[in-house]
């Protein structure tokens, strides 16, 4: 079986470049044959990208997360536009809105989000969206500013009704689930995966966060992604081989990679 981890913060697991490469290699040995590395800041992106160059199965997204709204970096738009020319950079992200942590103010977050959606549209790249307690604004913005290359709502945390509202827009949007899907009390996520078409579901580790229940009290790793896949398979009563391959193919389609 092969798995595609669509969202892992490799740079937050370890600072050491060798340790970061080992994380990616251990994931590959566990069947996670592709990983998308995510960084919250452009400074982190530059360093992690250089560290992971030897890992051919690792891809990258570049963007400014809402956590960095007060300090996106000098000439950040130009930095993104130059970075997407690098090998293995395949998306803009993670970007979005986070009203839980109250980074900056809402207006600043929205402006940063829209600016990056416009960059993605101009460069014809998909976007990886962070949404925490900002569902209405995310939905309203996507109605008018959805990049043609599509979007994924990463570490999905809304309910099935919200997913239905998204699908009703007729937009090219995917829904990515992390280890919190395996939590007993995550009823909103369980209802959502039961509702969604399988061809709209992606899997992610969100490492080092959202560790699957099987590994609770450990630092999350991309190599644990098969545990989330197994939970989804059991919950939907589908063979795990089908879940692994379908979500892998979905990710390749979304990121426009050859399977």
For 19, half-sphere exposure in the C-beta direction (CA atoms, 13 angstrom radius) is: 8
Q: pLDDT at position 128, please?
A: 98
The 10s digit of each residue's pLDDT in 174-195 is: 999 999 999 999 999 999 999 9
Kind of pairing, strands 127-132 and 89-98? parallel
DSSP secondary structure of 82-151: HHTTSTTEEEEEEEEEETTTT-S-HHHHHHHHHHHHHHHHHHT--EEEEEES-HHHHHHHHHHH--TT-E
3-state helix, strand, coil in the chain (%, to 5): 50, 15, 35
Give the whole-number percent of the chain exceeding pLDDT 70: 100
CA–CA distance, 114 with 244 (Å, rounded to integer): 33
Q: pLDDT at position 187, please?
A: 97
Contact 220, 210 (CB under 8 A): yes
| 3-class SS of residue 71 | coil
- Is the model's pTM score more than 0.95? yes
The 10s digit of each residue's pLDDT in 95-131 is: 999 999 889 999 999 999 999 999 999 999 999 999 9
| 3-class SS of residue 158 | coil
Q: pLDDT at position 229, please?
A: 98
pLDDT reading at 171 higher than 90: no
Domains of the chain: 3-255 (3.20.20.140)
Q: pLDDT at position 181, please?
A: 98
168 phi-psi bin (left φ>0, alpha ψ -120 to 50, beta other) = alpha
CA of residue 15 relative to chain centroid, distance: 20
Q: pLDDT at position 18, please?
A: 98
| 3-class SS of residue 7 | strand
Structure tokens, 172:
């090219």
Mean pLDDT of 7-32: 98
pLDDT reading at 170 higher than 90: no
CA–CA distance, 65 with 42 (Å, rounded to integer): 9
Q: pLDDT at position 185, please?
A: 96
Structure tokens, 158:
């809304």
Q: pLDDT at position 140, please?
A: 96
CA–CA distance, 154 with 178 (Å, rounded to integer): 8
Contact 256, 15 (CB under 8 A): no
The 10s digit of each residue's pLDDT in 200-248 is: 999 999 999 999 999 999 999 999 999 999 999 999 999 999 999 999 9
Q: pLDDT at position 102, please?
A: 84
Q: pLDDT at position 81, please?
A: 97
Contact 205, 224 (CB under 8 A): yes
CA–CA distance, 205 with 158 (Å, rounded to integer): 18
17 phi-psi bin (left φ>0, alpha ψ -120 to 50, beta other) = alpha
Burial 217-242 (b: 16+ CB within 10 A, else e): eeebbbbbbbbbbbbbbeeeeeebee
The 10s digit of each residue's pLDDT in 28-83 is: 999 999 999 999 999 999 999 999 999 999 999 999 999 999 999 989 999 999 99
């Amino acid at each position: 079986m092969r798995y595609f981890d669509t969202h892992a913060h490799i740079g937050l697991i370890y600072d050491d470049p060798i340790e970061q490469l080992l994380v990616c290699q251990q994931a590959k040995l566990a069947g996670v044959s592709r990983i998308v590395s995510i960084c919250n800041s452009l400074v982190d992106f530059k360093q992690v990208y250089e560290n992971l160059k030897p890992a051919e199965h690792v891809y990258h997204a570049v963007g400014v997360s809402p956590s960095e709204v007060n300090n996106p970096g000098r000439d950040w738009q130009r930095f993104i536009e130059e970075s997407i020319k690098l090998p293995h950079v395949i998306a803009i992200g993670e970007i979005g809105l986070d009203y839980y942590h109250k980074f900056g103010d809402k207006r600043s977050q929205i402006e940063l989000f829209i600016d990056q959606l416009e960059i993605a549209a101009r460069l014809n790249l998909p976007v990886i969206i962070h949404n925490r307690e900002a569902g209405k604004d995310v939905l309203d913005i996507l109605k008018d500013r959805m990049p043609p290359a599509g979007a994924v709502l990463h570490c999905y945390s809304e309910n099935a009704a919200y997913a239905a509202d998204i699908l009703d827009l007729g937009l090219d949007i995917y829904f990515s689930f992390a280890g919190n899907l395996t939590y007993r009390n995550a009823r909103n996520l369980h209802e959502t995966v039961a509702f969604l078409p399988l061809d709209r579901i992606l899997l992610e580790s969100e490492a080092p966060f959202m560790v699957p229940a099987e590994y609770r009290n450990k630092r999350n790793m991309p190599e644990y992604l098969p545990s989330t896949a197994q939970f989804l398979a059991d919950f939907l009563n589908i063979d795990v081989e089908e879940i692994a391959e379908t979500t892998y193919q979905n990710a390749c389609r979304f990121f426009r990679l050859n399977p």
